[in-house]
Amino acid sequence: MRISQKVKKILDNYESDNPGTKSKLASILMHGKLGGTGRMVILPVDQGFEHGPARSFAPNPPAYDPHYHFQLAIDAGLNAYAAPLGMIEAGADSFAGAIPTILKLNSSNSLARPKDQAVYGSVKDALRLGCAAVGFTIYPGSDDCFGMMEEIRELAEEAKASGLAVVIWSYPRGGDLTKEAETAIDICAYAAHMAALLGAHIIKVKPPTAALGLDAAKKVYEAQKIDISTPAKRIAHVVQSCFNGRRIVVFSGGEAKGDEGIVAEAKAIHEGGGNGSIIGRNSFQRPRDKALELLGALIEIYQGKA
Amino acid sequence: MRISQKVKKILDNYESDNPGTKSKLASILMHGKLGGTGRMVILPVDQGFEHGPARSFAPNPPAYDPHYHFQLAIDAGLNAYAAPLGMIEAGADSFAGAIPTILKLNSSNSLARPKDQAVYGSVKDALRLGCAAVGFTIYPGSDDCFGMMEEIRELAEEAKASGLAVVIWSYPRGGDLTKEAETAIDICAYAAHMAALLGAHIIKVKPPTAALGLDAAKKVYEAQKIDISTPAKRIAHVVQSCFNGRRIVVFSGGEAKGDEGIVAEAKAIHEGGGNGSIIGRNSFQRPRDKALELLGALIEIYQGKA
Amino acid sequence: MRISQKVKKILDNYESDNPGTKSKLASILMHGKLGGTGRMVILPVDQGFEHGPARSFAPNPPAYDPHYHFQLAIDAGLNAYAAPLGMIEAGADSFAGAIPTILKLNSSNSLARPKDQAVYGSVKDALRLGCAAVGFTIYPGSDDCFGMMEEIRELAEEAKASGLAVVIWSYPRGGDLTKEAETAIDICAYAAHMAALLGAHIIKVKPPTAALGLDAAKKVYEAQKIDISTPAKRIAHVVQSCFNGRRIVVFSGGEAKGDEGIVAEAKAIHEGGGNGSIIGRNSFQRPRDKALELLGALIEIYQGKA
Amino acid sequence: MRISQKVKKILDNYESDNPGTKSKLASILMHGKLGGTGRMVILPVDQGFEHGPARSFAPNPPAYDPHYHFQLAIDAGLNAYAAPLGMIEAGADSFAGAIPTILKLNSSNSLARPKDQAVYGSVKDALRLGCAAVGFTIYPGSDDCFGMMEEIRELAEEAKASGLAVVIWSYPRGGDLTKEAETAIDICAYAAHMAALLGAHIIKVKPPTAALGLDAAKKVYEAQKIDISTPAKRIAHVVQSCFNGRRIVVFSGGEAKGDEGIVAEAKAIHEGGGNGSIIGRNSFQRPRDKALELLGALIEIYQGKA
Amino acid sequence: MRISQKVKKILDNYESDNPGTKSKLASILMHGKLGGTGRMVILPVDQGFEHGPARSFAPNPPAYDPHYHFQLAIDAGLNAYAAPLGMIEAGADSFAGAIPTILKLNSSNSLARPKDQAVYGSVKDALRLGCAAVGFTIYPGSDDCFGMMEEIRELAEEAKASGLAVVIWSYPRGGDLTKEAETAIDICAYAAHMAALLGAHIIKVKPPTAALGLDAAKKVYEAQKIDISTPAKRIAHVVQSCFNGRRIVVFSGGEAKGDEGIVAEAKAIHEGGGNGSIIGRNSFQRPRDKALELLGALIEIYQGKA
């Protein structure tokens, strides 16, 4: 595989990683229509675990089949496909080598009360399934956050030693956090920074709002006149919070919404210097042709064509 | 062992499994009177743990003897026999090779208050006892559900690496779930889907009712007009929720009831595309000849003869 | 060692055990005056842990010395001697080979509030001390019961792999259980059954009363007309609950009482098909000659001479 | 090293221990001015952890230096020196081989609220530091007592296998125990007995008062007319509770007090058959010459000269 | 590397450490402008984890880049640079060998409620990243303090066996401690002493105030007339509490403040015999030239030139 200069420069930021992990990061960065640009679009399908099968797949029934998602990610020319153990197992052989996969190692569910997640995948699973990376969610702010960080620490150490990349979903939740605070720009930037400090190669956060969640932070944002007035400026602040751009950061799409909203969001991510989108429900819950159309539009944005 | 085309096709769905595990799945699918049809009837005897010996066996005293159940499963031509450690140990040698066994690894009991189970069997136990699979119960919704999922994760990883199959009993219970919600169709399909995501080869759930348990799900079932009006349609929805039929799903019989009810249930399972029944109290609590008669009737249904 | 036909038949019930474990069971069953009969009397001395030294030994001060108990068990011709780590360590060399020993691995104490026990012995301890078996107490009904079952699971697996036998003391306690329910026949039979399911070779329970503890069980006992009217019938029901007699079950003597009560209890155990008595305070708290006399009387009962 | 007959007899009581552990016990019993008498005086310095440095060392500032304590124990001709990790590390090389050391493996502190201790030393630490024994505190009665017993179980097993001796500090505390009950004779004897049952080679308790802490015990002490009227009789009862003298038991000095009180206590210990004193604050909190004087007086008592 | 006599003498205090650990300590003590003096200034950058990126870096935006801190520490001629996993990983290769690094293994964060920290780095991480030491925070007084001490015990044992040095941040917090008590001289000296007892090579505490936190300690400070009237006398008391100067102790700067305050503090540390400063926010939150100026001033103080 020929590595583009852009990607080479990104890889250089991962100074401490072994060649195995770097080649896995490269495989994601060089794959699909955005291969070599340093930008990426990833398809994540863990909503079945989080919300149940009907809420996830009934709007587009072919999506009940795990093969559907592999094929969608491949056909759309995405960089990678992320999913829980069972979903990857169900297509690992049919699509072996066809697209980099990210094994999600933990998930919550809508029936459970504690703000925690079950760890149900392992680094050994990722290796036997030929995955490029493992994915893990932390809930900064939750009363279980220290435990979750200790879980990913152990898994990340094993993953790095095994030549895999590590993706951290950093979703503030629980504890004293209000619903609004969960996506406030200071909290979001903080969550992204913590994922970087925990050693993540790729960081996934939600697009931040202009709200400020912590009083102590509010004072600093005002005193230092940090510009968080537009979506792109907020994205740029998150990127800065990820070691001044030395770590890849992608943004999730959140709840299903109209095409316009998604496209506007991607433009802001692109303009703010974010590395891309990780977009689930907004792609697999619409008919396949519509999904390919939307994903194509996002790719054009990250290609700088739109 | 000659593998039927039907079974071959089912095995193909287990893309990521090693030949050891596949051959154990095949041994269950090819055994007994339903061997080769892709359907199965399993005898589970863990009620002694869950309800005590008298409530389980007094209605049919020969059932106090562990050998009774091995023999019943063999004589009825079932696919497999599932039981806790002690029950399997007590007949493992006498019936070695005579019928595939599933070692249940955890159980609750009627004296305990927490909605949890004790893990009292291991993968090493299953291997030394010549079992084809391990069985594990999770309680989605319970406050211990994350812990239970993490237990089965570890056991399932070891089982798969050891060439065994994994059966998950997925029984919603505890937390905010009402008694009615435990068997509501949306909750049941969700529970089955989570078992699939956790990497189960065979999923066991209770037959779902037409109730809807989660408000968020209710909206989707109505908006998407998911047909859950008949037992067979509900079974089909559960099958769809198990990776669109890529995973084997069987249904338990629940409390002892009349023959008619059981037969009707099996017909719905058969019609809805479920893989079969796992039927305990309704078989071993009646006299042996009656049990053989009823099990014979079920087998005929799954053979498509009734 | 020549194994009697009676003992051979008992050993045959332990189908899954390795020759090491079977020879340890045989050593207990063939030892002492009841050797070869399939019946047994065991001396357990863990009361110092449970109630303190003065309450245990002050009535018969020579019993403060650990050697006293080894010698008493040997001179009385008992099958085995069971005690905690320190007690066995203090005589293991002087009495090496003189009588089979059972290392008790956990104990509670009268100062502690939680209904749990501390695990303070290991399988490795049992091996280095030349023990024939390990002993472990579970409290079915206690809020810690799942944890206790998981502890014995791990220890039992290691013990069996190491060629040792496993004795489970199954004492219902805690949770919603009333004092009366702890020895109710349904609860006692249930506790014995759970020990069998957990893989115990020898099960120890308290002699059951005619009370019924669980409402759900009460209905079954009445409907099925289970005869629990005499001590012997209740013993027989417990034996039946231990895999229809495929597992050895012995009964403890409970609080110190008069000779008549103890003898009557042993007769009921003998008549009901129980395998014997495990008798502590009623033997070591009386003067040595009186203890030998009483133990001799019990042995005669189990020999069928009384 | 020539072992005295007295010490040989004591070592014979440790029937199950390997030669490594026995030689470590011998090294303590044969060291210093009491070497060979079967009696011992030990210097313990863990008060800095329990009460802080100023409360421990300000009365005699040279004691801030870890070397001070090694030298004091050596110059006073004591049998051993016991201290936490850092204290031993700070002098392990300078005083290598000069006096047997006991590595304290856990400690509490005055800032913490839970009635527990932190385990901060390991058997491997003891081995690399050339220690003769490890020391561990349990709090019988505390809600954490089962956990503490399970910790020492694991550490003691490793220590014994590594040829080290095990010293248990058994201090009743927490739960339902009143301050008075903590040193009541029945509770103290019970605590000592539990340490013996846990496999301790040397047991350390506080000198008991004539109080009785448990109602159930009170009845027995009265019925059996156990004589606890004098300090020496109470010591003798504790010794009896340690396997009738088969285990070494030493008594701590408690809070700093006048010389007379300490001397009287030692006389009672000597008369009652206790093995000696473990005396911290009363030695290192006074000027060195006064400390040597007092320790000399104690040694004379145990030599039978006073 | 030629080791100065001063440093040789300090190293001699670490009697029990292997040559690997000693050479790592030497590398820190011999590095930078204070190399060989026995004094040190360390740059710690874990505030991003504790307070978030904006509160930490917005006042001086170049500090968002991990390379900035490595370079600042090198250019200022400091002894070492301490930071969390991600920060070290991001510059480990660019600055390999350029300055000794200390991998911080645990951190808290401002979103979490429990007074605990997440352990997110390992000894293996420190080794693969070429670090000289590992750093760990304990919260004496917190309800989790025993657990934190047990974590560092395990990590410190592994670190020492791997030839690394161990730095403990000992910050009283939680439990019954008031805000004022957290920096009271008795509590601070106690916290430092506990770190020494836990086996730390380098101890980090906050500069103590003249307050007294524990009533029991107050009495002793008054009775023994311990002089805590000036900052330098308080520093000297802390040094004394660290094995009478046998352990290296450094003091943090705390919240950002004016140059005068920082300089005065350093003078007191120097005068009181403390080994130096660990100064984060007061260096990296001001412009680089101002930071170099301030750090230069501190170094001159520790060189005895100011």
Q: Report residue D255's pLDDT band, with 50, 70 and 90 as the boundaries.
A: low
The whole-angstrom separation of Cα B268 and Cα B256 is 18
**CB E66 to CB A243 under 8 A?**
yes
CA angle centred on B215, ends B211 and B218, rounded to 5°: 55
- B224: which chain A residues are within 8 Å (Cβ-Cβ)? 54, 58-59
Q: Report residue D290's pLDDT band, with 50, 70 and 90 as the boundaries.
A: very high
**CB D243 to CB C90 under 8 A?**
yes
**Integer-rounded Cα radius of gyration of chain B:** 18
The whole-angstrom separation of Cα D267 and Cα D273 is 10
The whole-angstrom separation of Cα E87 and Cα A77 is 33
Q: Report residue B306's pLDDT band, with 50, 70 and 90 as the boundaries.
A: confident
Q: Report residue A106's pLDDT band, with 50, 70 and 90 as the boundaries.
A: very high
- D220: which chain C residues are within 8 Å (Cβ-Cβ)? 54-55, 58-59
Alpha-carbon distance E252 to nearest alpha carbon in chain D (angstroms): 21
The residue type of E146 is F
Q: Is B240 on the interface with A (CB under 8 A)?
A: yes
What mean pLDDT is predicted for residues B218-224? 96
**pLDDT number for residue C256:** 62
Nearest residue to B39 via CA among B4, B83, B74: B4
**Cβ-count burial of D1 within 10 angstroms (0-12 exposed, 13-18 middle, 19+ buried)?**
exposed
What mean pLDDT is predicted for residues B213-239? 97
Q: Is C293 on the interface with B (CB under 8 A)?
A: no
The whole-angstrom separation of Cα C195 and Cα A234 is 62
Residue that has been written with the tokens 């590095």 in this structure: E31
* CA distances (Å), origin A122, targets A119, A136, A148, B87, B199: 8, 11, 14, 32, 12
Give the pLDDT confidence of E215-229 residue by residue, as tens digits.
Answer: 999 999 999 999 999
**CB A243 to CB E65 under 8 A?**
yes
Q: Report residue B256's pLDDT band, with 50, 70 and 90 as the boundaries.
A: low
**CB A58 to CB B220 under 8 A?**
yes
Q: Is E220 on the interface with D (CB under 8 A)?
A: yes
**pLDDT number for residue A163:** 97
Alpha-carbon distance B231 to nearest alpha carbon in chain A (angstroms): 17
- B120: which chain C residues are within 8 Å (Cβ-Cβ)? 149-150, 152-153, 197-199
Per-residue pLDDT for E157 more than 80?
Answer: yes
**pLDDT number for residue E143:** 92
Nearest residue to A181 via CA among A141, A147, A220, A216: A141
Contact E145, E138 (CB under 8 A): yes
**CB B94 to CB C15 under 8 A?**
yes
Q: How far is CA B105 from its chain centroid? A: 13
Alpha-carbon distance D72 to nearest alpha carbon in chain C (angstroms): 34
**pLDDT number for residue B227:** 97
Contact A211, A184 (CB under 8 A): yes
pTM (2 d.p.): 0.95
Alpha-carbon distance E66 to nearest alpha carbon in chain A (angstroms): 6
Contact C120, C107 (CB under 8 A): yes
Q: Is C147 on the interface with D (CB under 8 A)?
A: no
- B193: which chain A residues are within 8 Å (Cβ-Cβ)? 48-49, 52-53
* CA distances (Å), origin A118, targets A45, A144, A154, B117, E13: 16, 12, 15, 17, 47
**CB A241 to CB E64 under 8 A?**
yes
State the catalytic residue, choosing from D33, D104, D160, D204: D204
The whole-angstrom separation of Cα A241 and Cα A193 is 5
What mean pLDDT is predicted for residues A9-35? 97
Question: For chain C, which chains pass the contact test of at least 3 CB pairs under 8 Å?
Answer: B, D
Per-residue pLDDT for D221 more than 80?
Answer: yes
**pLDDT number for residue C254:** 63
- The H or E element containing residue E8 is helix E5-12
Nearest residue to A107 via CA among A64, A136, A139: A136
Q: Report residue B64's pLDDT band, with 50, 70 and 90 as the boundaries.
A: very high
The whole-angstrom separation of Cα C189 and Cα C192 is 5
The whole-angstrom separation of Cα C126 and Cα C124 is 5
Q: Report residue E274's pLDDT band, with 50, 70 and 90 as the boundaries.
A: very high
Give the pLDDT confidence of A148-185 residue by residue, as tens digits.
Answer: 999 999 999 999 999 999 999 999 999 999 999 999 99
Helical pair A231-241 and A259-272, crossing angle rounded to 10 deg: 50
Q: Is D125 on the interface with E (CB under 8 A)?
A: yes
**Cβ-count burial of D74 within 10 angstroms (0-12 exposed, 13-18 middle, 19+ buried)?**
middle
Rounded to the nearest 10 degrees, how much is the dihedral formed by the CA atoms of A53, A58, A62, A68?
Answer: -40
Q: Tell me which residues of chain C, numbers 3 to 42, contact chain B at a CB-CB cutoff of 8 Å.
A: 13-17
**pLDDT number for residue C301:** 97
- D267 is known as an active-site residue: no
What mean pLDDT is predicted for residues C171-196? 97
Contact A197, E49 (CB under 8 A): yes
**pLDDT number for residue C272:** 98
**Integer-rounded Cα radius of gyration of chain E:** 18
On average, the pLDDT of chain B sits at 96
Alpha-carbon distance D142 to nearest alpha carbon in chain E (angstroms): 15
What mean pLDDT is predicted for residues C163-173? 97
Q: Which residue of C has its CA nearest to D177?
A: C111
Alpha-carbon distance B165 to nearest alpha carbon in chain A (angstroms): 14
* CA distances (Å), origin E128, targets E68, E85, E96, E121, E122: 22, 11, 11, 12, 10
Per-residue pLDDT for A255 more than 70?
Answer: no
Q: Which residues pair with D276 in a beta bridge?
A: D40, D250
Per-residue pLDDT for A61 more than 90?
Answer: yes
Q: Is B86 on the interface with C (CB under 8 A)?
A: yes
Contact A15, A201 (CB under 8 A): no
Q: Which residue has the higher pLDDT, C148 or A1?
A: C148
**Cβ-count burial of B271 within 10 angstroms (0-12 exposed, 13-18 middle, 19+ buried)?**
middle
Q: Is C227 on the interface with B (CB under 8 A)?
A: no
Q: Is D64 on the interface with C (CB under 8 A)?
A: no
On average, the pLDDT of chain C sits at 96
State the catalytic residue, choosing from C204, C218, C219, C305: C204
On average, the pLDDT of chain A sits at 96
**CB B194 to CB A61 under 8 A?**
no
Q: Report residue A253's pLDDT band, with 50, 70 and 90 as the boundaries.
A: confident
Residue that has been written with the tokens 């055994």 in this structure: B31
Coil, strand, or helix at residue C110? coil
The whole-angstrom separation of Cα E85 and Cα A199 is 6
Q: Report residue E258's pLDDT band, with 50, 70 and 90 as the boundaries.
A: confident
The whole-angstrom separation of Cα B231 and Cα B241 is 15
The whole-angstrom separation of Cα A88 and Cα A69 is 10
- A52: which chain B residues are within 8 Å (Cβ-Cβ)? 186, 189-190, 193, 214, 217
**CB E240 to CB D61 under 8 A?**
yes
**CB A16 to CB E55 under 8 A?**
no
**Dihedrals φ, ψ of D42, to 5°?**
-120, 140
> What percent of chain E has pLDDT above 70?
99
**pLDDT number for residue A273:** 98
Coil, strand, or helix at residue B270? helix
In sequence order, the 6+-apart residues with CB closer than 8 A to the CB of C139 are: C115, C116, C117, C145, C148, C171, C172, C173, C174
Nearest residue to A160 via CA among A6, A49, A62, A18: A18
What mean pLDDT is predicted for residues E182-208? 98
Q: Which residue of B has its CA nearest to C247?
A: B90
**pLDDT number for residue C115:** 85
**pLDDT number for residue C258:** 82
On average, the pLDDT of chain D sits at 96
Q: Which residue of C has its CA nearest to D195?
A: C86
Alpha-carbon distance D94 to nearest alpha carbon in chain E (angstroms): 7
Per-residue pLDDT for C287 more than 80?
Answer: yes
What mean pLDDT is predicted for residues A273-293? 96
**pLDDT number for residue E306:** 77
Helix residue spans in chain C (DSSP H): 5-12, 19-29, 47-51, 53-57, 66-75, 85-89, 123-128, 145-161, 185-197, 215-223, 231-241, 259-272, 281-284, 288-302
Give the pLDDT confidence of E32-87 residue by residue, as tens digits.
Answer: 999 999 999 999 999 999 999 999 999 999 999 999 999 999 999 999 999 999 99
E273 Rama sector, left if φ>0, alpha if ψ -120 to 50, beta otherwise: left
What mean pLDDT is predicted for residues B220-236? 97
Contact C214, B109 (CB under 8 A): no
Contact D203, D249 (CB under 8 A): yes
Q: Report residue C1's pLDDT band, with 50, 70 and 90 as the boundaries.
A: confident
Neighbour tally for A62: CB within 10 Å: 15
Per-residue pLDDT for E254 more than 80?
Answer: no
Give the pLDDT confidence of C106-137 residue by residue, as tens digits.
Answer: 999 999 998 899 999 999 999 999 999 999 99
Least confident of B93-107, C244-258, D119-133, E193-207: C244-258
Q: What DSSP string runs through chain D?
A: -PPPHHHHHHHHT-TT--HHHHHHHHHHHTSSTTTTTT-EEEEE--HHHHH-HHHHHTTSGGGGSHHHHHHHHHHTT-SEEEE-HHHHHTTTTTTTTTS-EEEE-EE--TT--SS--EE---HHHHHHTT-SEEEEEE-TTSTTHHHHHHHHHHHHHHHHHTT-EEEEEE---STT--TTGGGBHHHHHHHHHHHHHTT-SEEEEPPPBS----HHHHHHHHHTT---SSHHHHHHHHHHHTGGGTSEEEEE--S---HHHHHHHHHHHHHHT--EEE-SHHHHTS-HHHHHHHHHHHHHHHTT--
Nearest to A186 among E54, E61, E129 (CB): E54
Give the pLDDT confidence of B127-172 residue by residue, as tens digits.
Answer: 999 999 999 999 999 999 999 999 999 999 999 999 999 999 999 9
Contact A146, A115 (CB under 8 A): no
**pLDDT number for residue D1:** 77
Give the pLDDT confidence of E91-138 residue by residue, as tens digits.
Answer: 999 999 999 999 999 999 999 998 899 999 999 999 999 999 999 999
**pLDDT number for residue A54:** 97
Per-residue pLDDT for B48 more than 70?
Answer: yes
**CB A48 to CB B193 under 8 A?**
yes
